[in-house]
Amino acid sequence: MLNDLLNVMGFIPTSSKNSIHTFSSPFNPEERTPSFHTFSSKVESSDPLKGVNFSCKSTGNGGDIYKFIQLYYGLSFMQSKEKVAELLGLDGIKKSDRPTSFSFNQQRKPSQSRASEIKITDISTLKHVALIDYISSRGIDVDIARRFLGEVRYKADNNNFFALAFYNDNGGMEIRSKYFKGSLGKKDISLIRPMRATSTLKIFEGFMDFLSYLQIAPQGDESHFLVLNSTALKNRAVHIINQSSYENIHLYLDNDKTGSETTSFFLDALGAVAEDKSIHYSSFKDLNEYLLSR
């Protein structure tokens, strides 16, 4: 089932031999030599979805189908089970039990017939009143949002949709509206470097927290910013950071288990230049929740 899931998400094996399938790593967009392998599990399980495991030499990650989804989307174990069911179209999770969601990754080359059902009809500046109302409901001024967000319109299953669009460094997009959260194209970080020299880099899990910081911060902040878009891309982020010469790296990650683990990872990987800033909103899940409480 893991191989089926990868195909649904748009990842096609570069080679297959017996029961071993090789892919370019979903966690490392810059990988030149495919290092992600799937193979039959040697451990018997009553869960048929656990029949295939993965190993990623590029990042050192490995595990079963749920572990892959946890790492790729930055989810808890229970959330990963729901996401697997959603992506594979499995029964057992009622739509009423979870928010409506649509992921472009879900449709990104699973088959020619399925892919043809999706058509991007327009990418423009942010203007739809529903999206403006949504971003405003998150406490963010539309003028700040328009600096970094666009608007994407697309057609799927003969229905028209629209969403906020935030580009990553690989040309993909993070997609968000009041009703769903997903992505278009290959996942990657978003490194925002205005044309100015600086010694400070500030790191966020998602673009909503990044925009929340801009809403709170005093005008004239001359930092560079890095949005992970998925905590699974933390190794990719460290690789990019190590190619630069930042003297101060501020971590504005979530105050949950995944956020705390990712903060610890960066503190260990980056050393004394890194500083945990989540203590300033420790009573809140994330920076946006803190913004909304003000």
Identity of the amino acid at 138:
R
169 and 263 share one domain = no
Q: What share of the chain is helix, strand, coil (3-state, %, to 5)?
A: 35, 25, 40
Q: What are phi and psi of 93, to 5 degrees?
A: -125, 115
Last residue of a domain, one of 95, 124, 144: 95
194 and 289 share one domain = yes
Please give the share of the chain, as a percent, with pLDDT higher than 90: 45
Going by C-alpha positions, the residue among 180, 176, 228 that lies closest to residue 202 is 228
Which tokens sit at 84? 């697997």
Going by C-alpha positions, the residue among 214, 202, 148, 204 that lies closest to residue 176 is 148
Report the pLDDT value the prediction gives residue 118, as an integer from 0 to 100: 54
**CA–CA gap between residue 235 and residue 266 (Å, rounded):** 9
DSSP helix/strand/coil, 25: coil
**CA–CA gap between residue 27 and residue 187 (Å, rounded):** 8
Which tokens sit at 70? 């946890």
Per-residue CA distances from 95 to 89, 101, 118, 230 (Å): 11, 10, 21, 24
| Domain count of the fold of the chain | 3
Domain membership of residue 257 (yes or no) is: yes
Cβ within 8 Å of residue 74, ≥6 positions away = 205, 230, 231, 232, 258
Domain membership of residue 100 (yes or no) is: no
Whether residue 53 has pLDDT greater than 60: yes
123 and 206 share one domain = no
**CA–CA gap between residue 148 and residue 35 (Å, rounded):** 33
Expressed as residue numbers, the domain containing 225 is 190-293
Which tokens sit at 227? 């949005």
204 and 271 share one domain = yes
Whether residue 35 has pLDDT greater than 70: yes
Which tokens sit at 273? 């230049």
Domain membership of residue 11 (yes or no) is: yes
The pLDDT tens digits for 246-273 are: 999 999 999 999 999 999 999 999 999 9
Domain membership of residue 8 (yes or no) is: yes
Domain containing residue 37: CATH number: 3.90.580.10
The pLDDT tens digits for 117-159 are: 456 788 888 988 889 999 999 999 999 999 999 998 877 666 6
Whether residue 276 has pLDDT greater than 60: yes
Domain membership of residue 104 (yes or no) is: no
Domain containing residue 272: CATH number: 3.40.50.670
Report the pLDDT value the prediction gives residue 138, as an integer from 0 to 100: 94
Identity of the amino acid at 165:
A
**Which ranges constitute the DSSP H helices of 74-179?**
77-88, 112-115, 129-137, 142-148
**CA–CA gap between residue 1 and residue 7 (Å, rounded):** 10
- The long-range contacts involving 110-116, CB below 8 angstroms and separated by at least 24 positions, are 110/7, 110/8, 110/9, 110/10
**CA–CA gap between residue 170 and residue 189 (Å, rounded):** 8
232 and 283 share one domain = yes
Which of 6-10, 71-75, 128-132 shows the lowest per-residue confidence on average (mean pLDDT)? 6-10
Report the pLDDT value the prediction gives residue 183, as an integer from 0 to 100: 78
Last residue of a domain, one of 184, 211, 240: 184
The pLDDT tens digits for 81-121 are: 888 887 776 644 333 333 333 233 333 332 333 333 456 78
* Span between the terminal Cα atoms of the chain, in Å: 45
**CA–CA gap between residue 69 and residue 60 (Å, rounded):** 15
Domain membership of residue 267 (yes or no) is: yes
